[in-house]
Amino acid sequence: MKNKMSKVVRYFAVVLFAALCSEAYALDVKVIDSASKAPIKDATVLVDNVTALTNEAGVVSLKAPAAKISAKSPGYIRGEVIPSPGIATIQIPLRPFVPKALYLSMYGVSSKKLRNSALKLIEDTEINALVIDIKGDWGVLNYKSAVPLAAEVGGQKVILVKDLAEMVKTFRDKGIYLIARIVVFKDNPLAETKHELAVKTQGGDLWRDREKLAWVDPFRKEVWDYNIDIAVEAAKSGFDEIQFDYVRFPDSLKPKFSKPSTEEARVAAITGFLQEAKRRLAPYNVYLGADIFGYACWNLDDTQIGQKIENLAGVPDYLSPMLYPSGFQFGIPGYRNPVQNPNKIVYLSLKRAQERTKLPPNRFRPWIQAFRDYAYDRRFFKGEPVREQINAAEQFGSHGWMLWNPQNNYYPEGLKPHPAQAAAAPLSPDNQAAKVPGQVQAQAVTPVAAVK
């Protein structure tokens, strides 16, 4: 009996000691703007895979020691610190940063010519970020992935990048902000190999889009897990941000899914996928972005693809509407010829999205057109048309912008010189700021069919 009592006493002594230590330990983590030194409210602080948001004073209080503390907030480069023992307050300064990005496919990033051309623009112009395909439009991963399903479905037949982390380090060492683009539900290899996960025709065969590519069912959690596994791999490799594209249903009413395709169900599936991705990516202190159709800014329904902007608000860190004028086949209120009004397309679409979501402007980063028009007069978007779009995004206050050219061909015309060179040389006529788009009162818009 005496030994038993002794064990009980020791147990409670240990519990009491741990409780006293916990009460004794206190560390205030303050997240600040590195430039202004102002506190950052609602910054995400990560400690031991648990996240918390800072208060009005930019502070989160810890009650237990931590080996590493990370922080992020939209509009800033993420940061981390290793606290020293015995201190009561620690600051994490976050550096303001506005990404101005080019898109590179995995073939583009592995091509010496295209890669060097992009790096030259980064050296000479305001470009400071890259969006790189990790899983592209064909559902292929062109790097050596450790995700088993990638090889199983035939997504690893051509390896262009043998070491993803080493590639990331090479760009990061040059000070380049890196965004990993992952195409989600348009996945030909997965659909063809795992028919149970595929979008079907009403007769039960594989459904294919206009490019003859098969899609996978956004209702299937196995599809969610596969794409999030790839996203986690990219985050571990050092990317600053994960960006999901084709995070939507096919723009057709003909396919058959594993559940009835109602608007409510579609919206729940797309929003649910992004929420699950956010949860699983939280331990890596990485930003999360989602590409959405340009008309999702205007349509009051889900555009029949599951993207309803009010429901998406606040889930990813950044919403990236694809505001290519050529894609606005019906124009927007007041501007029925979009290729003649690229600044209005960008500015008014972002403004409408902000009004509907109540998000601050820096939670948006649009895709803008840097390729030849295919819908109107075949004009090539470079120089002034590109600058007009950029000016519109910047006047709105978006968190930067991204240039899209599927062939990865970009030009300096329309881009400002690198900040280090700007003071040494005046802007060329092509780089002069275009007329700032006025704040035209947006009108109601009739829902339209989705376009890419």
The whole-number pLDDT of residue 24 equals: 56
| DSSP annotation string for 387-426 | HHHHHHHHHHT-S-EEEE-TT----STTSPBPHHHHTTSP
Residue 351: how many other CB atoms lie within 10 Å: 21
CB-based contact 312:274 (threshold 8 Å): yes
Residues 6+ apart with CB under 8 A from 109: 115, 130, 132, 133, 160, 161, 167
Q: Any idea what the Cα angle at residue 381 is, between residues 378 and 387, rounded to 5°?
A: 150
The torsion angles phi and psi of 102, rounded to 5 degrees, stand at -110, 150
The whole-number pLDDT of residue 20 equals: 39
Domains along the sequence of the chain with CATH: 26-94 (2.60.40.1120), 100-431 (3.20.20.80)
CB-based contact 211:164 (threshold 8 Å): no
Report how far Cα 59 is from the mean position of its chain's Cα atoms: 26
The whole-number pLDDT of residue 440 equals: 29
Cα separation, 213 vs 139, whole angstroms: 10
Residues of the chain with pLDDT below 50 are: 2, 8-9, 11-23, 425-452
Residues 6+ apart with CB under 8 A from 5: none
SS3 content of the chain, % helix, strand, coil (to 5): 35, 20, 45
Q: 318-322 and 287-293 as β-strands: parallel, antiparallel, unpaired?
A: parallel
The whole-number pLDDT of residue 439 equals: 29
Q: 177-183 and 79-81 as β-strands: parallel, antiparallel, unpaired?
A: unpaired
Residue 58: how many CA atoms within 13 Å on its side-chain side?
18
User: What are the pLDDT digits (tens) for 140-170?
Assistant: 999 999 999 999 999 999 999 999 999 999 9
The whole-number pLDDT of residue 423 equals: 56
pTM of the model: 0.88
**In a 3-state reduction of DSSP, which class is residue 196?**
helix
Cα separation, 411 vs 403, whole angstroms: 11
Beta-ladder partners of 208: 214
CB-based contact 350:360 (threshold 8 Å): no
Cα separation, 137 vs 102, whole angstroms: 17
Tokens 């290519």: give the residue.
324
Residues 6+ apart with CB under 8 A from 188: 138, 139, 213, 214
The whole-number pLDDT of residue 302 equals: 97
Cα separation, 181 vs 404, whole angstroms: 12
